[in-house]
Amino acid sequence: MYERDEMPTQPYPALAAQSRTLEASPVPASCLSTSLPIGADEAYRLMGQSERIPEWMAVVRSARTLTRYLDGRPERVAFIANLQRASMGYTLRYSYDDSNRQITWCTPPAASTRIRGQAIFAAMGPQACMLHYEIELQKSEHLPAWNDSTYNDHPASSVLSDFREFVQRHG
């Protein structure tokens, strides 16, 4: 699949001139906001550590960074997700907008499972922030359901609950 020693780096993209909002899609987005008991910068940093996603997201079994930006942050990450009686692999490409504390991610356009989303962290004071989270999922109807019933019904709710618990344990 990929070589363990192969960790190419890519230049960090200039995001100021680009809008990183989700484009219209036939798949309805799952959107939700919640407050977190840590500062926006720290929450943004924690969410940006995609290698740690298996520690807190119930449907993700593993994450492996394939490429990094020059600043060390993950650019492309391969995931293995837990489905009922099965596993599924997919790769996400991440982008970061530090000035807006926004992280966006998406699968390649030709992927059979299409995922894209964004997380935006708004400061509410030094020890609190608001997380605005949006995700669009489209997987083959021939695959089993996700291994987390909440994720099947409302993925944003599941992710925010999992991330909030993670923040409370490690924040």
In 3D, which of 124, 139, 155 has the Cα closest to residue 32? Answer: 155
Tokens of 65: 């960074």
Tokens of 142: 């021939």
82: helix, coil or strand? strand
Q: Give tens-digit pLDDT for 50-70.
A: 999 999 998 999 999 999 999
Cα–Cα distance list, 29 to 79, 80, 129, 157 (Å) = 21, 22, 22, 12
Domains in the chain, ordered, with CATH?
Answer: 28-170 (3.30.530.20)
Q: Give tens-digit pLDDT for 2-22.
A: 343 444 444 444 333 333 444
Q: Give tens-digit pLDDT for 136-156.
A: 988 777 777 777 777 777 888
